Amino acid sequence: MMDEDSRYEAVRSRDGRFDGAFFFAVETTGIYCRPSCPAVTPKRRNVRFYPTAAAAQRSGFRACRRCRPDAVPGSAEWNVRADVVGRAVRLIADGVVDREGVAGLAARLGYSARQVQRQLTAELGAGPVALARAQRAHTARLLLRTTDLPVTEIAFAAGFASVRQFNDTVREVYAATPTEVRRAAPRGGARRAADGTGIPLRLAHRGPYQAAAVFDQLAREAVPGVEEVTGRPGARTYRRTLRLPYGTGTAAVAERTRAPRAGGGTRPGGWLDARLRLTDPRDLTTAVQRLRRLFDLDADPYAVDERLSADPRLAPLVGARPGLRAPGSVDPLEAAARVLLGPAGCGCLVEEYGKTLDVPDGALTRLFPEPAALAGRTDVPAPLSALAAALVDGTLRLDPGADRDEAQRELLALPGMDAAGAALIRVRALGDPDVTPPGVQAPDAWRPWRTYAVQHLHVAGEPPR
C-alpha cells in the first residue's frame, strides 16, 4: 500500500510502474492522468489521487489527452484478489453490467446490489455503474478513432442506452464531442478499419513482456480450425475465432511488442498490435478483455519478478526471462477441454461439434463448441461431458467472477477429474496467479505468484518438484 506522499513521488518521477495502480487529478486544470504522464508535474497541493479512472471521472475530472489514462492496463490486484471486489471488477471488465445490469452482476456474485455498490464505492471510489460507464467511454473512443461506423451505431455498440447519454459521457470524459474525438484520430485510421480488415487495437501491457514464450505455448497448443500461429519466430501472428455474447469474431495478435516513445519519464511497458473482426460491434469490450486474459496483459511483472527473484532457484530464471506471463483463455470450456484432451483431441471435438463460421477466414473455420453441445453426451469423454453439463446447469462457474475455491471443489467432484487437471483449469480458465500442481513443494516465499514460478520452471525445462 502506498501513502499519498509516495504516490506523489511516483508522479514526480513519472514512474510508469504504477500506471493503472492509481491515477492522479489536478484541481487547477480539471484533468486526471496516469503517473507517467509527461506533462509538467503539478504542485502537490493541487493533486488528488484516485484508485480508478472511474473514480476520477465521477469527481468531475476529464482524461488527459497526452497520456490517455483510460487506456492503461488494468490493475493486477484484481487478478490476485478472490474477494467480492476483485471478482466484481473482473466481471465488469467482461461487460456483465452492460449485458445484465447491476442486478445481474450482484446475482453472479451472490450479494445484493446494495452490498456490491457499497463495497465497490468504499474501495474504488466508484460503484458498478460508474465503472461500467468509464469502460463504455473508452470503447466509444476506440471505435470513434479506428472505425467509420456511424456515431449512432457506436453509441449502442459501446453499451450506451441512448445517443444522448453517449454524447454527454464523451463530452464529460474527453472534453470533446464525438465528432471532435473522431477528427483527432490519426489520418487514415477509420479507412483502414473500414476495408474489412477489422478494428485495429493496441493491447497495452506494463513492464517487460516475454512474447516469444507466450507464442511458443500458443503454437504448441493451437486447436485446428479455431487457432493458428503463422510466421517466423519474432514476427509471428496468432489468429483465432471467438464466440461472443452477441455474435462471433476473429482476432489476430502480432508477436512483436512495441514500446512508447520516450517522453521525459519512465514509461516501461508497451503493447501488442491486434485486429478484431466482429459480426456485432457490441462485443468489442468483451472481446478485448478476453484477449487480455489470454495473453495475461494485466499482470504486474515488477511485483512478480521482485518476489520470485529472491528465491535462489528462480533468480537466474527470472533474470533470463523478466516479465514472463502465464497465458489464460478466452473460453472456460475450451480451457478445460485443452487440459483434458490436448490440442489433437480438441481438434476432433471442434470438427464434430463446433459451429462453422458463416464466413471462414483462411484456416479459421469453426468456433469451439458451446457447453450445451457437449453436455451429457456419451460419445464425449466423461469428464468433459460432465463439466459441460455442470456449466449448463450452473453447478460450476468458470467465468471471470467465479469463486476460485468453490470452482475447484466443483471440478474435483466431477467424474474422472483429478487434482492436477483441476489445478491447471484453475490457472487457465480462472486466471489464478497462485496455483501449483499437486505434489509440487512450493515455498511460501513464492506466494502469491506460484503460477508464475511454475511457468518459469516449465519454460526453462526444469521439472517442478
Hey, what's the cell of 460?
526453462
Helix (H, G, I), strand (E, B) or coil at 171: helix
Task: Write the pLDDT tens digit of every residue in 362-373.
Answer: 999 999 999 999
Q: In this predicted model, what pLDDT tens digit does every residue of 7-45 receive, in sequence order?
A: 999 999 999 888 988 999 999 999 999 999 999 999 999
Nearest partner of 256 among 240, 232, 277, 288, judged by Cα: 232
Pairing of strands 270-278, 356-361: unpaired
Indicate the residue type of 227.
E
CA distances from 263 to 29, 41, 97, 174, 266 (A): 21, 13, 36, 21, 8
Cis peptide before 268 (omega within 30 of 0): no
d(CA 32, CA 61): 6
pLDDT at 72: 82
Per-residue pLDDT tens digits of the chain, which is 465 residues long:
689 999 999 999 999 888 988 999 999 999 999 999 999 999 999 999 999 999 999 999 999 988 989 888 877 788 788 899 999 999 999 999 999 999 999 999 999 999 999 999 999 999 999 999 999 999 999 899 888 889 999 999 999 989 999 999 999 999 999 999 999 887 654 444 444 568 999 898 989 999 999 999 999 999 999 999 999 999 999 999 999 999 999 999 999 888 776 554 445 678 999 999 999 989 999 999 999 999 999 999 999 999 999 999 999 999 999 999 999 999 999 999 999 999 999 999 999 999 999 889 999 999 999 999 999 999 999 999 999 999 999 999 999 999 999 999 999 999 999 999 999 999 999 999 999 999 888 899 999 999 999 999 999 998 877
Q: State residue 122's pLDDT score.
A: 94
Q: At what angle do helices 163-174 and 128-146 cross, to 10 degrees?
A: 90
Contact 415, 382 (CB under 8 A): yes
* Paired sense of beta strands 270-278 and 199-205, if any: antiparallel
Q: 23: helix, coil or strand?
A: strand
CATH code, 77-183: 1.10.10.60
Run of H or E including 291 = helix 284-295
Reading the block at residue 308, the C-alpha cell is 520470485
What is the CATH architecture of 4-71? 3-Layer(aba) Sandwich (3.40)
Q: Which residues contact 295 (CB under 8 A, 6 or more apart)?
A: 203, 205, 214, 253, 272, 325, 327, 328
Residue 122 half-sphere exposure toward CB, CA atoms < 13 A:
8
CB burial of 211-226 (b: ≥16 within 10 Å; e: otherwise) equals bbbbbbbbbeebbbbb
User: In whole angstroms, how far apart are CA 183 and each of 136, 144, 186?
Assistant: 19, 9, 8
Domain boundaries, the chain: 4-71, 77-183
Question: Quick one: DSSP state of residue 114?
Answer: H
Query: What is the identity of the amino acid at 163?
Result: V
CA 19 to chain centre: 16
DSSP codes of every residue in 176-203: S-HHHHHHTSPTTHHHHHHTTS-EEEEE
How far apart CA 384 and CA 374 sit, in angstroms, is 8
Residue 300 to residues 37, 75, 108, 397, 408, Cα–Cα distance (Å): 19, 8, 27, 26, 25
Measured CA to CA, the distance from residue 289 to residue 136 in angstroms comes to 13
- pLDDT score at 369: 98
